[in-house]
Structure 1
Amino acid sequence: MKGTGRFLRYLLQLALFWPGLFLLQRCLFLALNWNKVSRLPWSDILLAQRYGLPMDLSMTGYLLLPVVLLCIPLLFRDGSLWRTILRVYLSVLVILSCIIAIADVGLFKSWGSRVNLKALSYLAYPREAFGSMASAPILMLVPVLVLLCYLALRVLHRVRPGSELHEGHWPWKMGGILVAIGLCLLAARGGTQDLPIDKSWAYYSRHSVLNLSTLNGTWNFMEVLVEPPEFAANPYAYTTTTEADARFAELHAQGRGNAPSILNPVRPNILIVLLESWTADIIEPLGGDSGVAPQFTQLAKDGILFRNFYSTGFRTEQGICAMLSAFPSQPRTTVIRKFGKFDQLPSLVHVLDSAGYASTYYYAGDVEFANTRSYLEAMGFDVIHDEHSFPITKRTRWGAYDEELFAFHLRDAQQPKQPFFHILMTSTSHEPFDAPVDEGFKGAEPQLYRNTVHYTDRCLGAFMDEARTKPWWDSTLVIVVADHGHFLPRYREAYAAARHRIPFLLTGGALHAELRGTTNDTYGSHVDLAATLLNQLHLPSDRFTWSRDLFDPTVSHSAFWTFDEGFGTADSTQTVVWEHVGQRVVELRDSTRLQDRDRLLQDGKAQLQVLLDRYIGFNQ
């Protein structure tokens, strides 16, 4: 009995150690994201520990089960080898758990999520992956990680199994082993209820930072590793396939072709300038900060500025795919990374090619990142330029400065084959916003973001001034749009509508003069570019089933975006953001318009269900 008692006491000590470590990790997550937590009630913050405890105990059960098995030899015969194996096993787990906890902090600061398959997939591109994470305070997180590991290991090494586990009778030992295994399995399952514990247990608040702090990082990482790499079935099946398809068809019904013409020539050149990480929060005519993008503000006086345009996701490749294929971003995965899927998408480039357009993509960084080159080639671009296409004198970790990209385009397009379709993808305003450009914005993260945006804005203005002198200008439609928004400078939540609202401007010499300096309040997103553009060119757009003509008054207009485990949708009456795991509305524009809330919520659920049905349906 003596050895069995020591064995159970050792397990009890570990059963207290692990939840204590998880509690400390949760406190660190909240403290290191205090800029988002400080505005919340203390009662809500403290509830994170209460709601996080079941998942902490579940993870403790998983971690202790191997400990029980490793202790079995010690219950029958004392041996230093098994003690060493046990000590190494626990030490490695502690270090890994601490690394995951600190990585979660950095990932949340940059992407608004914890570790997931999408984040892990970007490790195939280490330079770009760490570049996109660079807004996280690495210099602070590394010492915190070292200190956390040190403290945890100091406490762990005080917890020892003792040298007398082998004493006692074997029936007591077997009974102790069975009890310990049973308790570990019960804890890992989350209790005796019908369904085992899952992520939804951690979701208790409408504030994303609290829900993600409640989620046990080690448990979440384990689930990421063991879950299937792709969807076995649609996880967002809210209704029958027939009902979802019918609602989708009604939402995306083709208009009657009543859109007014906005272009002078029938086949103008098309030049798209994709602005890295620009949000409406820094565009003055969209209600954003003044003085950050003055050149864009001037350009808006010479074009059509859309006031309610949204990105479908939060990554560049999502924005590109939504524009060129009219396929929205997907939660938890990215179609552009999936061979056998993305090449089944429709291509705006192919349609333009059939009308005689010469297509070129310009980027001053690594176009291989996130499988972008393969996707662009499948879409049919004639030429793809990247960082190897021209000599670079100044670069960030993402590529050449934007001024060099714009200058290269002007040189390359001296006498272009017309009509042309060109896309310029900027990069200097990408995280970590550390380009040494002095634009007068000094300070912390929000100011660094404004500083690089102001630089790109200045380069954009100079480029447009020079482009106006080119022979091709008068017959060119210029589309200036962001690839996605950003949580800076106002620390928007990852799901928030305001984070996804972006600038979208139509300008250029081909635009009708009477439309210059106007605004358009139609709700739309990246996916609507294809139908809007092709209808103006009198080219077929029927393959782009997600796309709606922004100028067609007979079409039902709305915006739709996704984030990890949820979606948002907005139209002229209401905005609704739905969190799938917590099964709750986390953002609502107008609480008095409940009928519009219910309608939009059902619209969004149908679109998300159809989106994943089609994604899964693509061969792979």
Structure 2
Amino acid sequence: MITRAALAAKVAGNLDTGPLAVPGAFAIGFFYDLVNALYFIFPLMLIGWLTPRKLARRNGFRWFVTSLIFIQTFLILLNAVSEWIFWDEFGSRFNFIAVDYLVYTQEVLGNIRQSYPVEVIVLVLLLLAALLTWEQRRILARQDVPGAGFGQRSLWMTGYLAVLLAAFMWVGNQFRQFSDNNYANELAGNGMYELFAAYRNNELDYNQFYRTLDNRQAFRDIRALISTPESHFTDNNPFSIQRDIVNPAPELHKNVVLISVESLSADFLGSFGNEQGITPYLDSLARKSLLFTNLYATGTRTVRGLEALSIGTPPTPGQSIVRRPHNEDLFSLGHVFKEKGYESSFIYGGYGYFDNMGYFFGHNDYRVVDRTVLSKKEIDYENIWGVADENLFSLAAREIEKGTSAGKPVFAHIMTTSNHRPYTYPEGRIDIPSHTSREGAVKYTDFAIGRFIRDASRKPWFKNTLFVIVADHCASSAGKTDLPVNRYKIPLLIYAPGFIKPGIMPRLMSQIDLGPTILGLLHFSYRSKFFGYDIFRLEPGRERAFISTYQSLGFIHHDSLVILKPQKFAATYIPDFTTGAAREVVPDRRMTDEATAWYQCASFQFRKGLMGK
């Protein structure tokens, strides 16, 4: 309850949905606190049930129980501090992201150690836990209650287990969704319980939890929705989206350097109205590039962005396909380039095992190059997430040089890491000291990209290269609404002097459209299983975008937003694309069916193994 009060004070200015928001959050939150307590006291209940009365009276046993209470008290305190830090980063209680992070303890704990004074925090928590445990022990010592016999203890244990089982079977985290204000709903949760619930639901079966259509109807709709003038379906299989993309112009086998930048929100760039001057190079490059001003990321995690950019599919609920089993040999952008004679590679400044990135790309027609190939002398700076971006780009330049020298065109997907907490980078590169702020990390990455492209301009392969700069996702997705659309807008620049004319592309576009659009610019004809569009070939009015969390699936079309959630929930909103606020309106059945078809068919395709090349 103290944690809830602290978090409520933190977001007080955003709890603006009426007088019931805060009382409702605390009342529902207290219910979840009790449910969490049922799980949390299980070790004590088990010991109390199985321990004979004679043993329970001994001092050694009492010290054992006191030690257990100390550990549990410390965990509660540690959880409170962890929730504060997690909320600061993601604007929510623990969720699916926290479950993912528990898998990669080295990177996550390293990140925390580099961002916060962990030793001091832990020492304070240990002292506070000791004081609280001592007070609890004094209270318990005053309870002069004769120990119950095993039979009586068994009755108590049976009742407890019955209540615990009922909570496990029938209590889910959906009951906290009582308000239109997302912060109020998050406050109504319990961090430990939310972590447990997220672990239970880390893979969501679309058909079980979401609104559905008949599969044949859904695929009839999706085949109509993805059909474009330059494409032709290869067969009459009602569940296939395979089609031949035909471009009559001669193919251009230019090098493609795709840079996906960690957490680069559109509103960091001066080109989108930022006045801090933290992207001077990208702003200057935007004037020489084709700048896309209405592009939306599919999710809130790097793996979501990589999924969209590599296999061109709408996000499926639960884990990204990058991290799921059976994600090998999928139809991918790397596959198309490989078929065209390219050397395709994924170049990453961290360790490829993180988030399963190395395995995913390595099994889907990319050659994986990560920090393990760099020697110590090639690294100016590194933190827990990876080497400094300037070292990553030096590695990328070397790999591109190697491929072009062998006479092959190159497709290089480069994933940066420096724009990530703890926001550290080599000193002296920019005018913002390292470990100061995200703004500093953004400006450093901007510096590193600038140096890379300026160095590349002196290379023989530069004139035959398409540079594509895009974000993997925004810096933050938290907001008053479930899916604040302004927190998903990302920049996209395509730069190729003498080939791509500078200009502005204002059409609505999804991250999954980038692959087909690049292939269209190169006039490639190929067999496709992408869900994305070539935005330059798409008839006006058919644009759409997808945004999501691990549970909420959003579909943007024209000025409307459909959100699909578990428990077969579907609602239509008119979003404010500047503030992220959203007003619920009468559902548009046709648009809701379209949203359902996109998401249902993407889930069906992966589950049935139809995304293979």
Sort the TM-score into its range (normalised by shorter chain).
Answer: 0.7 to 0.9
SS in 2 for 1:565: coil
| Residues 613 and 158 of structure 1: CA distance in aligned 2, closer, same or farther (over 3 Å) | farther
| Alignment pair present for 1:165 and 2:152 | no
In structure 2, give the amino acid aligned to 1:499: R
Shift of 1:83: 5.0
After superposition, the C-alpha distances for 1:418-474 in whole angstroms (9 at most, x for unaligned) are 42212222222222213254634479x9x7111111122122223223323332222
Is the CA contact (8 Å cut-off) linking 1:343 and 1:378 kept in structure 2? yes
Matched, 1:59 2:36: yes
For 1:152 and 1:507, the matched residues in 2 are separated by 61
Q: Which of the numbers 607, 610, 620 marks the counterpart of 2:601?
A: 610
- Residues 1:395 and 2:382 aligned together: yes
Q: Alpha carbons of 1:105 and 1:28: their partners in 2 closer, same or farther (altered >3 Å)? A: same
Find out whether 1:108 has 2:87 as its counterpart: yes
User: Within 5 A, what are the aligned runs for 1:91-170?
Assistant: 91-116=70-95, 119-130=98-109, 137=116, 139=118, 142=122, 145-146=125-126, 149-150=129-130, 152-160=132-140, 162-166=143-147
- Distance in 1 between residues matched to 2:444 and 2:572, nearest whole Å: 35
Question: Aligned to 1:359, what secondary structure does the other structure show?
Answer: strand
Which of 299, 304, 314 does residue 313 from structure 1 map onto? Answer: 299
**How many Å apart are 1:143 and its aligned residue?**
6.0
Q: Secondary structure at the match of 1:157?
A: helix
Deviation for aligned residue 1:284: 2.0
Residues 207 and 344 of structure 1, relative CA distance in 2, 3 Å threshold = farther
Q: Is the 8 A contact 2:572 2:586 kept in 1?
A: no
2:458 counterpart residue number: 469
1:335-360: per-residue Cα shift (whole Å, max 9, x none)?
A: 22234x22142121121111111223
Q: Which moved more, 1:66-75 or 1:208-217?
A: 66-75
Instruction: Let me know the Cα RMSD of the aligned residues.
Output: 4.0
Match of 2:228 among 245, 254, 259: 254
**2:373 is paired with a residue of what secondary structure?**
coil
- The aligned amino acid for 1:125 is Y
8 Å CA contact 2:270–2:277 kept in 1: the answer is yes
* CA 279–95 in structure 1, closer or farther in 2 if over 3 Å, else same: same
Which amino acid letter does the alignment assign opposite residue 252 of structure 1?
Answer: I
Question: Aligned residue for 2:353?
Answer: 368
Which blocks of at least 5 consecutive residues in structure 1 are unaligned?
Answer: 1-22
Determine if the alignment matches structure 1 residue 278 to structure 2 residue 267.
no
How far is 1:268 from its partner? 1.7
Aligned partner of 2:283 in structure 1 is 297
- Encode CA deviations 1:185-205: one digit per residue, 9 max, x unaligned: 4477369xxx82210112223
Cα contact 1:574–1:593 (8 A) shared by 2? no
Q: Is the 8 A contact 2:400 2:410 kept in 1?
A: no
Q: Is the CA contact 2:544–2:556 (under 8 Å) kept in the aligned structure 1?
A: yes
Do the aligned partners of 2:253 and 2:409 also contact (CA within 8 Å) in 1? yes
Q: Which residue matches 1:236?
A: 209
Q: Match of 1:379, SS?
A: coil
Q: Which position in structure 2 is the counterpart of 1:354? A: 339
Q: Secondary structure at the match of 1:58?
A: helix
TM-fit CA distance, 1:332: 2.9
Match for 2:26: what amino acid? Q
Determine the structure 2 residue equivalent to 1:5.
Answer: none
Percent identity of equivalent pairs: 22
Residue of 471, 485, 488 corresponding to 1:482: 471
Q: Which residue in the other structure is 1:182 paired with?
A: 159
Residues 606 and 265 of structure 1: is their aligned pair in 2 closer, same or farther, counting only changes over 3 Å? closer
- Distance in 1, matches of 2:583 and 2:316, equals 30
Q: Quick one: distance in 2 between partners of 1:182 and 1:426?
A: 54
In the alignment, structure 1 residue 547 sits paired with structure 2 residue 532: yes
Distance in 2 of aligned mates of 1:261 and 1:525: 22
Q: What amino acid does structure 2 have at the position aligned with 1:303?
A: S
Equivalent position amino acid for 2:608 in 1:
G
Local SS of the residue matching 1:539: coil
One of 17, 20, 24 as aligned partner of 2:2: 24
TM-score normalised over the length of structure 1: 0.80
Distance 1:148 1:38 in 2: 31
**Partner deviation per Cα, 1:7-26 (whole Å, 9 max, x = no partner):** xxxxxxxxxxxxxxxx2232
Pick closer, same or farther for the CA change 1:66–1:276 going to 2, 3 Å: closer
Distance 1:152 1:29, change over 3 A: farther
Residue 324 of structure 2 corresponds to 338
Aligned to 1:501: 489
Alignment match of 2:413 (pick from 419, 423, 433): 423
Between the two proteins, the alignment pairs up a number of residues equal to: 580
| 2:182 counterpart residue number | 208
Q: What letter is aligned with 2:77?
A: C
For residues 41 and 465 of structure 2, the distance between their equivalents in structure 1, rounded to whole angstroms, comes to 66
Deviation, structure 1 residue 521: 1.7
> d(CA) in 2 for partners of 1:262 and 1:477?
20
Deviation (angstroms), 1:126? 3.0
Letter of the structure 1 residue corresponding to residue 263 of structure 2: S
Counterpart CA distance in 1 for 2:340 and 2:56 is: 79
Q: Which amino acid aligns with 1:207?
A: N
**Deviation per CA, 1:397-437, whole angstroms, max 9, x where unpaired?**
32332223333444454453342212222222222213254
Please name the residue that 2:25 is paired with: 48
User: 2:230·2:247 contact (CA, 8 Å) conserved in 1?
Assistant: no
**488, 512, 520: which is aligned to 2:505?**
520
Find the aligned partners of 1:394 and 1:96 in 2 and give their Cα distance.
34
Residues 398, 466 of structure 1: CA spacing in aligned structure 2 closer, same or farther, 3 A cutoff?
same
Q: Give the secondary-structure state (helix, strand or coil) at the position aligned to 1:407.
A: helix
* 1:569 to 1:159, Cα distance in 2 relative to 1, 3 A: farther
List alignment gaps of at least 5 residues for structure 2: 233-244, 577-581
Letter of the aligned partner of 1:107 in structure 2? F
Deviations 1:502-527 (A, max 9, x none): 11111113524xx31x1112222221
Q: Deviations over 1:256-294 (max 9, x none)?
A: 469999999722221112212111111122233451212
CA separation of 1:470 and 1:596: change in aligned 2, threshold 3 A: farther
For the Cα contact (< 8 Å) 2:182–2:479, is it kept in 1? no
The alignment partner of 2:391 has SS state of: helix
Q: Tell me, in whole angstroms, the C-alpha distance in 2 between the residues paired with 1:290 and 1:454.
A: 10
After TM superposition, list the pairs within 5 Å mapping 1:60-79 onto structure 2.
Answer: 60-63=37-40, 67=44, 70-71=47-48, 79=56
Shift of 1:232: 6.2
Contact 1:437 1:451 in 2 (8 A): no
Give, in whole Å, the separation in 2 of the partners of 1:350 and 1:144. Answer: 53
Structure 1 window deviating more from structure 2 (414-423 vs 116-125): it is 116-125
What's the CA shift string for 1:555-583, capped at 9, x where partnerless?
Answer: 72211022132122323322445554795
CA contact 1:363–1:405 (8 Å) conserved in 2 = yes
User: Aligned partners of 2:125 and 2:568: how far apart in 1?
Assistant: 30
What's the counterpart of residue 3 of structure 1?
none
Distance of 2:20 and 2:124 partners within structure 1 = 26
Structure 1 residues 174, 419: closer, same or farther in 2, change over 3 A? closer
